[in-house]
Amino acid sequence: MAMEGLGRVFNIIPIAAGNGFSLKQATACTFVCTGNDTFTLTVASTFGGSYATPGNIITRIYTNTATNGTATWVKASQAASNAVTIASGTVAFTVFGIQLADPKAYVKVSVGGSGLVTAILHDLTASRGPANLAILGA
């Protein structure tokens, strides 16, 4: 029998731009961003806390000229930063929990304009049925 991935290996926030959420239930989060925009990562100790830069932890990104699966991902490097800027297409970057200083466990990617952000939390620390996954934005 096939096993579903949601709750077993990943959780997802389809519209994550500007929304803080907990990274406590996963070891990493990959942000998939589209639109001509700047995507800025911030972190906090609590959901309602003061979000600030985690330092310049984003260096490896993946770009894709298409948003519909018709092009390949290309690995790219950028100068260490807490932000990523693209003119078109899609960019993906991963934030690992171990990159965040204790007790920072809440992350947020904000956009400068109308960019779109999807957050895929992966390598979950415990498998659960989708209905039993923790609410991330609280």
Q: How does residue 2 score in pLDDT terms, banded at 50, 70 and 90?
A: confident
CA distance 123 to 8: 8
Q: What number is the average pLDDT over the span 129-134?
A: 94
Q: How does residue 3 score in pLDDT terms, banded at 50, 70 and 90?
A: confident
Would you say residue 132 lies in a domain?
A: no
Q: What number is the average pLDDT over the span 117-122?
A: 98
Would you say residue 62 lies in a domain?
A: yes
How confident is the model at residue 1, as a pLDDT? 64
Would you say residue 37 lies in a domain?
A: yes
Would you say residue 97 lies in a domain?
A: yes
Range of the domain at 75: 11-123
For residues 40 and 113, the answer to whether their CB atoms sit within 8 Å is no
Cis peptide before 54 (omega within 30 of 0): no
How confident is the model at residue 138, as a pLDDT? 79
Would you say residue 82 lies in a domain?
A: yes
* Backbone phi and psi for residue 97, each to the nearest 5 degrees, phi listed first: -55, -35
Mean pLDDT of the chain, nearest integer: 96
- Model pLDDT for residues 80-99, shown as the tens digit of each residue: 999 999 999 999 999 999 99
Q: What number is the average pLDDT over the span 37-63?
A: 97
CA distance 32 to 14: 10
